[in-house]
Amino acid sequence: VQGNVREIQAVLAALAAGDFTRRMQGDARGVFAQMQQDVADAMDALGGTMRTIQATSASVQHAADEIASGSAD
């Protein structure tokens, strides 16, 4: 049990540091196996959300640059 809890802690620490790639390691069983899958799914979803935000932010920046360029002409 302690090893599983340590793995959860390591994933949460990575998340807090902005790392969405960390996954629980090891062969979890029972409720910890489900938790391992849930944590992986949550990290995938958060990573996807962050990629969407980054892409949208870049698009907004590009549009703002175009507007600024048009204003300068």
Provide the mean pLDDT of the chain.
Answer: 92
Residue 31: per-residue pLDDT: 94
> Above 80 in pLDDT, residue 73?
no
Question: What's the maximum distance between 2 C-alpha atoms anywhere in the chain?
Answer: 66
The residue behind tokens 């849930």 is 38
**Is the whole model's pTM more than 0.85, yes or no?**
no
Strand, coil or helix: what is 25?
A: coil
Kindly state the tokens that stand for 2. Answer: 């302690």
Mean pLDDT of 3-20: 92
